[in-house]
Structures are given as C-alpha cells and as structure tokens.
Structure 1
Amino acid sequence: MQVVDPHVHFWNLDTHHYPWLANPGTSFAGDARELKHNYLPTDLLREAGDIDVLKVVHVEANHDPADPVEETRWLESIADNAAHAGAARALPDAIVAACDLSAPNAPAVLEAHAAFARTRGIRQILNVHENKLYDYVGRHYMREAAWRKHFALLERYGLSFDLQLYPSQMEEAAALAREHPGIQFVVNHAGMFVDRDSPAGYRAWREGLCALAACQNVAIKISGLAMFDHEWSVESLRPYVLASIDMFGADRAMFASNFPVDRLFGGYSKLWHAYASTVSDASDCERGALFRGNAERIYRI
C-alpha cells in the first residue's frame, strides 16, 4: 500500500530540547514516557512494514518554544543530508512549523520559517477544555487581538494553518476561516472528539465539523483517533472515519498516522490497513485522494 503521510513527528533528544519529553508523564493520550527516545525518518521507514511511505509532512513536535525556528532548520538539514547521500526517501518532504502567534516576535518567526524550502504551514495548538485533563493551553488564542493580527500574516507567506482544537471551538474557527479565505486550514485529528459520553458531545462534534466543512478552505486529517480509543478496532474507528469523509468529501479529507504518538496503541501497518478497510467500498479515485493525492495537493509536495 502506497501512502503519503501528512502528520508525523520526528525528534532527536540528543541534540534538541522538547519540554514535554524532558519530564514526560501520562495523559488521556497515553504514557509519554514510552516516547522518550529519538525518533527519526529511518525509524519511521523501518517500522512501516508493508506500507510504502512515499512522502511525509512533519508537524511541529513541541520543540523548545524559545527557538521554534531551530526545529525547522534541523528538519531541513536531515532531509538535505539524506538527499545528498542518495537516499531513496529524503524526509520530511514538507514542514508544518511552530509559531506562537500571540508573541511580539511572531512576524519575525514566520518570516524565518518561510525562508526554508520545505515549510508549508504553521501549527499552534489551540485546545481549550473546561476539564483540566484535556486542556492544553488554558487560553482562547482566537479571541486575542494580537494573535489574530499575526494570524493574518500567514497569507503573505503562503502558509497553511494546522487547526488543532476541540468541537467547542469549531464555530469560532469556522468564522476565522471565513474571514481568511486565502489561508488553507487543516483540521487535525478528525476534530479531537473528546466528549464521547453524551449525545450532546457527539452533536457538538458533528455540528462543529459541519460548520468547518462549509468553508471551502478547510480540509481534515483523519488521524489521532487512537488517543481517544486506546483499544481501537476497525469497527470502533469506522464511524469517525466515515463521518469525517461524509462532511468534507473525499477531496478534502486525508488519512494520517500521527506517529510515533499513535504508535503507543498499534503498529504503523495495522493503522493504515485499518483505514483501508473502512473505505474498501470507495472508488480507486477516492482512495487515491484520501491516501495520497489530497495531502500532496494541500501541502504542495
């Protein structure tokens, strides 16, 4: 099976600082202590098994916030070194970099990221939740004037925005997408449907994604489902996979691995074959778009 994987993370703990891995703990997403080891392109390709990974998009891995551009510089160097060495895969093919858009230096950081050939977008995690177990950032960035001012600069540099948030934030995000039709948004992890214990939680997820899907500049990555379903199976993933595709269409949805994070709950090959099983009745054209084409088009690789 050939795939383009639009959501992977690499890190080198020997040379770089990742605060969340310096003193890892457990959370709803699993035991981060099991991730405290280097994870490089060679590791991903080694464990891919029968999956032919054609290209990958690296999404910022919570690198040292004091120097987010260093992560991009490092990723460019490992891809360049692999290319110069004649490697079959010079990964990553594209980079979604980190930037705190609320910070005074955000314009300079965006300009620095954009100077690298493989930079395609920015991710700043936005997840806010009333339950501290699920809360990532503790503030509503999308409501802050400085953040919104700097967000608008993405279009100047031709950068997309990877949108990681919860259903309760989706109406605000849809308004942001309507305000900036020239910026490509990509919803991360199928909208992170965390409140699964009530009909209201399911309704918020569905209605929020529908609002985002109504914006033609918004796409969705079907990934990260194992963070909320540690004992996942094809059947347990199927409703979220099919609902996401139904809302966004096969031309604005893409499968992704979220490795090595989702590796805590299953192997790389197992995950991709599970995705394939959920859309086994789709046409060849649709499967090609979901597994390869949409990621290539949206991230320009």
Structure 2
Amino acid sequence: MALASPHHTVREDWLALVREEVIDPAQPIFDCHHHLWDRPEGRYRSEELAADIGDGHDLRASLYVQCRTGYYENGPEALRPVGEVRTILDWGRAQPQFPVGLVAFADLQLGADVRPVLDALIGTGEGRVKGIRNTTAWHADPAVRSNPRPAPDGLLRTPAFYEGARAVAEAGLCLDVWAYQSQLSEVAALARALPELTVVVDHCGGPLGIGPYRINDAACFADWRSALAEVAALPNTRIKIGGFGLSVMGYRYADAPQPPHSEILAADWQPHVAACLDLFGAERAMFESNFPVDKGQFGYRTLWNAFKRLAADLDASARDDLFWRTAARCYGIDDTLFTTSTGRTLS
C-alpha cells in the first residue's frame, strides 16, 4: 500500500504564475542534491529534471540522492538497493551529466557485513557511485516527519552503524546524513569517531518549524545553530544548504495564491544561510535543490535566483565554492565540467 507523502504537491500551473529573469546566467552550477522517481503522487524522472535544468541557469551537472527508486524486487534484501543505481543510470543515458554521480543506499545496520553491498553498488555504478545515505531522520513528535517511512530512533547511535560507516570510508565514499536539529549531537559524535569519513550534512542540518518548533523563533534558531556548530567544528564535515521547501522546516509558500519571488525566499532564508557560511565557510558548503521535494513550494529558476541573491556579496571564488566547487571536490567530480566554456561567459 502506498504511504502518504509528507511533501507539498507539485503544481506546474501554480509554479507558472511567477517567472523571473535569471540572475547571473553565466554562473556554473552543480546541483548536488536531487531525487528522481515515478510514484503515485507524481513523476520526476530524467525528462522532468531536464526541463528544470534547462530553464535558464547554467547547470553543468547534478548528483542524485537515494529515495528508494527502482529497487530490485527479488534477490537478497541487502542487495535490492543496487537496482536503484541501475535504474537511475538507465534513465539518464541521454544526459549522463544529470546525474554525474549518485549517493546510493546500503543498510549500514549490517555493520562490517555491508562491504559486499558497497562493492555491488560500486560495481554497478559505472564509476558514478560517490556516497551512501540511510534513512535516519527521527523525532519523537509525530508531526515532525519528512519521510513516508520514518526511521526508528537511534540508528545513528548503534555500533553497527559506526562499523557500516567505517566501511563506507574504506570504500572511498562519502556519507550523506539527513538528521533533524535534535539529532546533530549524534552526527557530531559519528564524525568525531570516524575522522577518515567525510560526513555531508543534508538540508542545513534540519532546522525545524513544525510540532514544538517555529522556524523564526529565536530560541529554536539558537538551539539549531549551537548544535550545528558542534558538527562544523569537525574538519571532516560538509553541509548542503537547501531543503527549505521541506514541510518540516515550516515554510508555507504552497498556501499562497502565487509562488514566492526569489527576493522573498532570500530574505526568509538569510539567517540560516548566513549561519551555515559562518560555521562552515564557503569551502565546506554547497547549494542544493532538493528537487522535486522542494518543487511543491517554489520553482527551479526561482530557487537558484534566491541562492544567487544570498551569495551576491561574496567574492567570485566563494560563489564558485557554493555553486559547484565544494560539491565537486567532496564527491570527486571532474572540475573541467565547470571550468570549460559552454559558449557562455563564465564568471
């Protein structure tokens, strides 16, 4: 039985009500976090991604992040996620840079026994499997839910997960972690225990704005920033800036008669983005779209315009860090994708 999605519904007719001019169209971009799926609540496969990436901004490459798409229906349970890698590669044959890399799923609760699964993912991935992510976001309040299949409490704390994460590092892969602000101490403990592992914190470290939280409440913000600072103090951590369209963050742009302008998004997000940059620096931070999850609240062109507004006061090197360089280095993507001219003037 299909489970109800906690995400806002994508409405193309609503998104079409606002269309902005593209800001700084020559800025190369690596969208380091998106999903692809074909679900009862909507389709977002390579064709839909291509329409978004072709809408004015200079998108050079993208990174797919696991979301249970295309698992094998048969065979050993632990190896069924290998089907996701095969599916995404097959969907993207026409535009192999979208995605140029994948963050796959391997059950790290297998501990050291996850190694054959990692080998199978890498062997199937044609050199494009760059990282692993598990479903780990958990909160005691049932209102705080960002996954149709919420994780149980404690996955990030188990000895098995630590052993599995160690195997990820040994395989030369990154570990993406989606955790709420209430779990950031667990993320810090993991990164501290495994300094050889690159831990990429998704969606600004999960600032919350529902249930007992309010996104613009000073105390909630202070708690999030303090917890994120513990993570940022560890040199093997990176952060993805985005995910503001997630229902758990508390923004309700989807309720308005028209989608928001990038000026509104930039103003709303500025405190969290500024904190991420202050704690991590541009050299350890990267902008992400989190599409199609966030597409229920704003369009792709508008999103990247908002990020460009937020980065406008930075120098060219820091902007490149945020828009492509940090992610390319983190995931081992060839820099020439972003530094070679495509016929447009590069910044």
Percent of residue pairs identical: 31
From 100, 107, 114, the equivalent of 1:93 is: 100
From 46, 49, 55, the equivalent of 2:51 is: 46
Q: How far did residue 182 of structure 1 move? A: 1.2
How do 1:148-297 residues align onto structure 2 when only pairs under 5 Å count? 148-195=162-209, 196-197=213-214, 198-227=217-246, 228=249, 229-231=251-253, 233-297=265-329
Aligned partners of 2:114 and 2:167 also within 8 Å: no
Matched, 1:128 2:135: no
- The structure with the largest alpha-carbon Rg is 2
Partner residue in 2 for 1:57: 63
Q: Distance in 2 between matches of 1:139 and 1:62?
A: 20
Q: How far did residue 78 of structure 1 move? A: 3.5
Give ranges in structure 1 of 5+ residues lacking alignment: 14-20, 23-32
Q: Distance in 2 between matches of 1:90 and 1:296?
A: 12
Q: Distance in 2 between matches of 1:246 and 1:210?
A: 9
Size of the aligned set, in residue pairs, is 274
Partner residue in 2 for 1:18: none
Letter in 1 for 2:193: E
Q: Distance in 2 between matches of 1:154 and 1:208?
A: 25
TM-score, structure 2 normalization = 0.75
Partner residue in 2 for 1:26: none
From 112, 127, 146, the equivalent of 2:120 is: 112
TM-score, structure 1 normalization = 0.85
Letter in 1 for 2:155: Y
More deviation, 290-299/63-72: 63-72
Give ranges in structure 2 of 5+ residues lacking alignment: 1-24, 254-263, 334-347
Q: Distance in 2 between matches of 1:107 and 1:93?
A: 23
Q: Distance in 2 between matches of 1:68 and 1:222?
A: 27
Aligned partners of 2:62 and 2:97 also within 8 Å: no
Q: Distance in 2 between matches of 1:152 and 1:230?
A: 39
From 134, 154, 157, the equivalent of 1:140 is: 154
Letter in 2 for 1:241: V
Letter in 1 for 2:158: E
Q: Distance in 1 between matches of 2:252 and 2:202?
A: 18
Q: How far did residue 153 of structure 1 move? A: 0.5
Deviations 1:149-183 (A, max 9, x none): 22211112101000100112111211211111111
Letter in 2 for 1:238: Q
Q: How far did residue 203 of structure 1 move? A: 2.1
